[in-house]
Structure 1
Amino acid sequence: MNRPHQARDARLMGSRPEPARSGSVLGLSTTGFHEIAYVEWGPEESEVPVLCVHGLTRQGRDFDHLAENLARRRRRVVCPDLPGRGRSQSLSDPGDYALPQYCADMNALIARLGVTQVDWVGTSLGGLIGIVLAGMPGSCIRRLVVNDIGPYVSSVGLLRIGSYLGDMPRSFVTLARAERYFREILAPYGELSDEQWRHITAHSVRWDETRHVFTMLCDREIARAFRNPWLVSLNLWKYWERIGVPTLVLHGAKSDLLTHELCDEMLERNANATLHRFEECGHVPPLFELQQIKIVTDFLADKRPAGPD
């Protein structure tokens, strides 16, 4: 039997520095309270923290590489798990897996931090949440990074994602099988090292002592949200056009969710936005490599992003 060995490998998989702190805050949905988990990097006294919010089926540890880099620059970085992902609790009513709930939960987290401003880095779904919050009157977002998503998502793209969610495995017998799955489903990330794939895998599953399998840290009921009418051709242009803070759009050139045409329209409809395109990947640029991380850190440090606009 090699299960103890597998569990040990899950714990030891990553040699990267760990977050400085972890915590949780209570969010409130239509059916009750739920716990939102997060990790923190860098000095707690940093005046304007960076809030990093992940994509649809992912979790906050996807930002470890970026967060570690920012922490070395004396920035406080907070990486939450949205409800139903990572270490956060799932929602009792799957119908609550929607933008209004996510926005409310992130607002509760910002209130917990006790700050008046945040810089926001949002990947895919995290970018949609950032667009909504930054486009609302009185927003506390100072600078916004939107990673490979736009204010309009076609129903075709949403249906594809819904289909992918419906096929998501519940568990894996070994870590090797889990890693093969993530390498396949996240192939648009581009070329990653073996260590980076192991990092993704380690933080995407949890060892179940009762069932003796690695279970996914993502609630399959999230797929039900794709039956909600608000998801039929998601249109957030009214929020995008109201964003009055510096905004950086990151684009994976091969992305099937953020087209070149939509990028052009985003720049036309908001003069505060700039664009950086990564030719080597699709949806989404994972922000693991230094050349990708530098674009974000320079922007957050008020430097103009290098590279093609």
Structure 2
Amino acid sequence: MTEPRLNFVTCLDAAGLHRMAYWEWPGPGTDAPVLLCVHGLTRQGRDFDALARAMQHRYRVICPDVAGRGRSDWLRQPAGYQVPAYVADMVTLLARLDVAQVDWVGTSMGGLIGLGLASLSGPDGAPGPVRRLVLNDVGPAIEYAALQRIGAYVGKAPRFASLDEGAAYLRSISEGFGPHTEAEWQSLSAPLFAEARGEHGSEWRLRYDPAIALPFAAVTPELAAAGEAALWAAYDGLRCPTLLLRGAESDLLSAATAQAMTQRGPRARLVEFAGVGHAPTLVHKEQIAAVRDFLTP
């Protein structure tokens, strides 16, 4: 089975430098178009294995671990765990890849990073860095109740006696992902854990910095409202074709927000998946097909 290659790029932050990891899937050649897939808040780039395998015949597929997650460095200043800083890291990654434009698939936080990157434009109105944009269960308006739900578990840094125990924990906090087979769930879970030596022998820990919760916990309803206004302004300025995926039972992206996104800005094409909340994992055939059909019209 094809496996991705792990690479690193050095990025600038307020305290100095950090390395961002990215997984690169073999494609049809180095001159192939780039598909950049970016994960959610506590996840990592291997979330996109199934999608990458389906798209690597056409694309050079790149799946970064956002700073503080997966194989990437943890930041010395947790205040840097915010979307504008992640956008800057992605600009550095594009320079490393030596590409002017990419197609983008972003789940939740990864979608917000993509929105930020897509809103940038070159000098004299040159095309921005995102050619086609897929927003997976996220938009400018994020339901505050969903933020509270996520805040209840992010940054807790639990430890587990086995990988199976850890996978079961992840399943308990990820009901919105919808039904998955045991094999699918193991594939989604295993890359999120690292084995370490604990007080009572080997233990399994999640591969993310608990400090990512600090900026997240600082979000108040007032800050969320201000952020929403800025995100709508960015969304309304988009010029790239946009696909919006939504779990029909999502508590983060409301049906009303999704409908509004089809009527303003780039007038996103909306595809909903029954029996799924926040967020579709892009593992199942119908979810992969929706992305593939949009990116390869």
Name the CA distance, whole Å, in 1 between partners of 2:236 and 2:167.
40
Partners of 1:34 and 1:231 in 2: CA distance: 28
1:70 pairs with 41, 55, 78, which one? 55
- The change in CA–CA distance for 1:150 and 1:36 in structure 2 (over 3 A counts) is same
- Stretches of structure 2 that go unaligned for 5 or more consecutive residues are 123-127
Q: How many residues align?
A: 284
Partner AA of 1:64 in structure 2: D
What residue is the counterpart of 1:127 in the other structure?
111
Determine which of 147, 150, 164 is the counterpart of 1:158: 147
User: What one-letter code is carried by the residue in structure 2 that aligns with 1:70?
Assistant: M
User: How far apart, CA to CA, are the structure 2 residues paired with 1:246 and 1:74?
Assistant: 19
**Partner residue of 1:56?**
41
What's 1:263 paired with?
Answer: 258
**Partner SS state of residue 154, structure 2:** helix
Q: Which amino acid aligns with 1:292?
A: Q
Aligned to 2:167: 179
Q: Deviations over 1:215-269 (max 9, x none)?
A: 1101111110121579533310011001101000000000000010001111111
What's the offset of the Cα at 1:74? Answer: 2.8
| Cα contact 1:136–1:242 (8 A) shared by 2 | no
Q: Kindly state the Cα deviation for residue 48 of structure 1 after the two structures are TM-superposed.
A: 1.8
C-alpha separation in 1, matches of 2:31 and 2:293: 17
2:188 counterpart (200, 206, 225): 200
Q: 2:205 aligns with which of 212, 215, 218?
A: 215
Q: Secondary structure at the match of 2:145?
A: helix
Paired with 1:231 and 1:65, the residues of 2 have a C-alpha distance of 36
**Contact 2:115/2:234 (8 A) holds in 1:** yes
Maintained 8 Å contact 1:135/1:241: no
Unpaired runs of 5+ residues, structure 1, are 1-15, 304-309
User: How much has 1:290 moved relative to structure 2?
Assistant: 1.3
Query: What corresponds to 1:10 in structure 2?
Result: none
Secondary structure of the residue that 1:164 maps to in structure 2? coil
Aligned equivalents of 2:131, 2:34: Cα separation in 1 = 10
Find the aligned partners of 1:86 and 1:97 in 2 and give their Cα distance: 14
Match of 1:148 among 137, 151, 168: 137
State the identity as a percent: 43
Contact 1:248 1:299 in 2 (8 A): yes
Q: Residue deviations 1:253-295, cap 9 Å, x none?
A: 0000001000111111124411101012000010001111011
